[in-house]
A and B are shown apart, each in its own frame.
Chain A
Amino acid sequence: MGLLTSKQKEILLGPLSKNNPVVVQMLGICSALAVTSKLEPAIVMGISVTVVVAFANVIISLLRNTIPNRIRIIVQLVVAAALVTIVSEVLKAFAFEVNKQLSVFVGLIITNCILMGRLEAFALANRPWDSFLDGIGNGLGYGIILVLIGFFRELFGSGSLLGIKVVPQVFYDWGYVDNGLVILPPMALFIVATIIWVHRSRNKELQEN
């Protein structure tokens, strides 16, 4: 037996494709539209959500036998908000530049549906180690989709990737124009829809009749 049992592997890897939080569970769509006009914020957001979901999952999982049922959502919110605030304060003191990029995401992470969804659906009923893996898996599953959307939006909207021009100048000389529409949030929906289309057509069991 390796480090992970087959069930734990499924918990970790399932959200990357078959059980993806964004394109299968349809969670976290709003932030997927808001922060993906460039690739870099998409990557930063993906990493931040992964870290926060993993640790919030562990904390809720440790507390799961003490939390009163009627206020469990409030407890989850307080844990998530406290965690995000502490991370942000520490970054502000030791990694100021990173925090400046992250600051706008703080509010978005607390309200991220994936965070609440995983705490409610998984951490409340599972052991800390499994919950940690679930958090990492879902965070990465979310991150992959964000990076994909960010890649297409920055490439077609600004002709660059991570701020570096990749569309050669000769293209512009020949009359190529960056598509300003891709920068706007509605176009992200089209890209999400296209990803879902491709994903479903490759995974027949996800198709609904």
Chain B
Amino acid sequence: MKRDSNAYTVIYASVMVVAVAVMLAFTSQSLQSLQKANEDNDKRRQILRSIHIDVPANEAEDAYKKLINDAFFVDDAGEKTEGDAFAADAIKTFAEGKYPVFVANVKGQTKYIMALQGSGLWGPIWGYIAIDDDRNTVFGADFSHTGETPGLGAEIATTYFSAPFAGKHLFRNGRFCSIAVVKPGKQDGEQDYVDGISGGTITSSAVNRMLFDCLSAYVAFLTSNEIKEDGAVDK
């Protein structure tokens, strides 16, 4: 068959596409369980980083079991609902009105870790923010992203960006204000703020919006009086 005949071209293209598809499907299938384990450990590490604990991936599972006592959802009314908050995809549960909360015990003190999710410049961004048991003061935060610009928006994943969140307050005079991500020197004095990333303005604004939108959903939970001394929430 001639190399430039139509039949050869069509057959060549078909064989190539099928061969590549089989190869990719096989690679993906055979590596899936390893990838899932890596992703779960990465999620555990992100949650632990929000309470200032940085462990290597192979120790993440043990550390997570030791430090995170409880994981549940809260609804718009601040009521606790059942469900596997760790395994669930926060984007889906937020759409359903279920917001994940992880309860950690750090040196005898209870910390509540809340999930954040939003859209950055190029794709999803997400994070975890831990608060003290006064349910106002931020203990720590950690942010991640799928594909923000390296060196610019992607810097939100560094401690340089997330460390200043510690000690900030979500409420001012009893009113929910969120925490602003601003250009240095641009704060309005109405709410606590951290510095954004130079050159990563769109991602910084996205984090600002994500903080406000997601934490607003938790306000009922944060202001409910039903949390007992031991940190457990009444049903």
Q: Do A and B bind each other?
A: yes
Q: State the A residues within 8 Å of B (CB).
A: 34-38, 41, 66-71, 74-75, 78, 82, 85-86, 89-90, 92-94, 96-97, 100-101, 103-105, 154, 180, 183-184
State whether B199 touches A183 (Cβ < 8 A): yes
B206 to chain A, nearest CB (A): 16
Given contacts A41-B151, A71-B12, A96-B38, 12 further A-B contacts (CB under 8 A): A37-B150, A37-B199, A68-B9, A70-B9, A74-B13, A89-B35, A90-B27, A93-B35, A94-B34, A96-B39, A104-B154, A180-B198
State whether A93 touches B151 (Cβ < 8 A): no
CB within 8 Å for A183 and B152 given contacts A66-B12, A103-B147, A104-B147: yes
Give the docked Cα–Cα distance between A36 and B3 (Å).
Answer: 43
Give the docked Cα–Cα distance between A105 and B146 (Å).
Answer: 11
What number of B residues sit within 8 Å (CB to CB) of A? 32
Give the docked Cα–Cα distance between A92 and B39 (Å).
Answer: 9
Q: Of B9, B20, B151, which is within 8 A of A71 by CB?
A: B9
Name A's interface SS.
helix
Report A-chain residues with C-beta under 8 Å of the C-beta of B12.
Answer: 66-68, 71, 75
Name B's interface SS.
helix
Chosen A-B contacts, 6 in total, with CB atoms closer than 8 Å, are A75-B16, A90-B27, A93-B31, A94-B34, A104-B122, A104-B154
* 5 nearest A-B pairs in the assembled complex, by CB-CB distance: A37-B151, A93-B34, A38-B151, A93-B31, A41-B150
CB within 8 Å for A69 and B198 given contacts A35-B151, A90-B27: no
Say yes or no: is B214 at the interface (Cβ < 8 Å to chain A): no
Give the docked Cα–Cα distance between A70 and B7 (Å).
Answer: 12
State whether A97 touches B57 (Cβ < 8 A): yes
Report B-chain residues with C-beta under 8 Å of the C-beta of A86.
Answer: 23-24, 27
Say yes or no: is B230 at the interface (Cβ < 8 Å to chain A): no
CB within 8 Å for A183 and B198 given contacts A41-B151, A97-B57: yes
In the complex formed, the residue of A with least CB distance to B160 is A163
State whether A69 touches B38 (Cβ < 8 A): no
Q: State the B residues within 8 Å of A (CB).
A: 3-4, 8-9, 12-13, 16-17, 20, 23-24, 27-28, 31, 34-35, 38-39, 41-42, 57, 122, 146-152, 154, 198-199
Q: Of B8, B9, B42, B146, which is within 8 A of A96 by CB?
A: B42
B160 to chain A, nearest CB (A): 9
State whether B150 touches A78 (Cβ < 8 A): no
Listed residue (A36, A37, A67, A105) with the most chain B CB atoms within 10 angstroms of its CB:
A37
Q: Of A34, A96, A103, which is within 8 A of B149 by CB?
A: A34
Report B-chain residues with C-beta under 8 Å of the C-beta of A94.
Answer: 34
Report B-chain residues with C-beta under 8 Å of the C-beta of A103.
Answer: 146-147
Give the docked Cα–Cα distance between A123 and B139 (Å).
Answer: 56
Report A-chain residues with C-beta under 8 Å of the C-beta of B42.
Answer: 96, 100
Report B-chain residues with C-beta under 8 Å of the C-beta of A34.
Answer: 149-150
Give the docked Cα–Cα distance between A74 and B14 (Å).
Answer: 12
Give the docked Cα–Cα distance between A130 and B150 (Å).
Answer: 34
Report B-chain residues with C-beta under 8 Å of the C-beta of A85.
Answer: 24, 27
State whether B151 touches A78 (Cβ < 8 A): no
CB within 8 Å for A89 and B27 given contacts A71-B12, A183-B199: yes
Report A-chain residues with C-beta under 8 Å of the C-beta of B57.
Answer: 96-97
Report B-chain residues with C-beta under 8 Å of the C-beta of A89.
Answer: 24, 27-28, 31, 35
